[in-house]
């Protein structure tokens, strides 16, 4: 088995769509970035790349490349997963933590797990999505940013 971890932060900006784990959450602010800025999906993609020792999301999808402008990060995740799968890895499990003050994401967690599991072609029982706040402290607490961390276990299924 191989373990990987990933971490990402995006600034929250007024007027941006808020897409987290591939789920659109209604509101007037959302993460800003070159792609759709889906921080938890970026953290997960980095965790997968880390477990497979395939570099990081920035080398695979550089933000100077117009192809990834406003990209759907679920598509980036699917691309990353294809690279890991091609090396013979299967997903043991993935655990994602989203850190933000608002909007409240609890009502969307089930749908988020389905979106991630669909992208990785596994059952939802292998995908955990959790959310927490930083109690009003710091950048996420002040609503200025969304942060996310992810851990994955890959199994060397066919290596």
Strand, coil or helix: what is 98?
strand
Q: E strands within the chain?
A: 2-14, 18-20, 23-25, 29-31, 89-99, 127-132, 145-156
- How many chain residues touch Mg ion (CB under 5 A)? 2
Cβ nearer to Mg ion, comparing 42 with 115: 42
x-or-dash string of contact with Mg ion, 10-49, rule CB under 5 A: --------------------------------x-------
Locate 132 and state its tokens. 């927490």
Judged by CB under 5 A, the stretch of 5-13, 110-118, 127-135, 139-147 that binds Mg ion is 5-13
Residue 133 exposure: Cα atoms within 13 Å on the Cβ side = 13
Output the smallest distance, CB 33 to Mg ion, in A. 6
Angstrom distance (rounded) from CA 115 to CA 41: 10
Q: Is 8 in the site for Mg ion (CB under 5 A)?
A: yes
* Gap between the terminal Cα atoms of the chain: 11
x-or-dash string of contact with Mg ion, 107-126, rule CB under 5 A: --------------------
Cβ nearer to Mg ion, comparing 24 with 159: 24
Output the smallest distance, CB 9 to Mg ion, in A. 8
Nearest to 45, CA basis, from 150, 146, 123: 150
**What is the CA 30 to chain-centroid distance, rounded?**
15
Output the smallest distance, CB 73 to Mg ion, in A. 8
Cβ nearer to Mg ion, comparing 55 with 88: 55
In the complex, the residues that contact Mg ion under the rule CB under 5 A are 8, 42
């Amino acid at each position: 088995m191989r373990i990987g971890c990933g971490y990402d932060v995006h600034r929250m900006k007024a007027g941006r769509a808020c897409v987290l784990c591939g789920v659109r959450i209604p509101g007037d602010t959302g993460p800003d970035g070159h792609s759709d800025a889906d921080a938890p999906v970026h953290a997960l993609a980095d965790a997968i790349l880390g477990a497979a020792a395939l570099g990081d999301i920035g080398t695979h999808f550089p933000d100077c490349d117009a192809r990834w402008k406003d990209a759907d990060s679920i598509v980036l995740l699917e691309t990353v997963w294809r690279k890991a799968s091609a090396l013979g890895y299967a997903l043991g499990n993935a655990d994602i933590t989203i850190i933000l003050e608002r909007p409240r994401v609890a009502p969307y967690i089930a749908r988020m797990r389905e979106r991630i599991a669909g992208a990785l072609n596994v059952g939802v029982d292998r995908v955990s999505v959790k959310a927490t706040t930083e109690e009003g402290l710091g950048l996420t607490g002040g609503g200025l940013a969304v942060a996310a961390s992810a851990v994955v276990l890959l199994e060397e299924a066919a290596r």
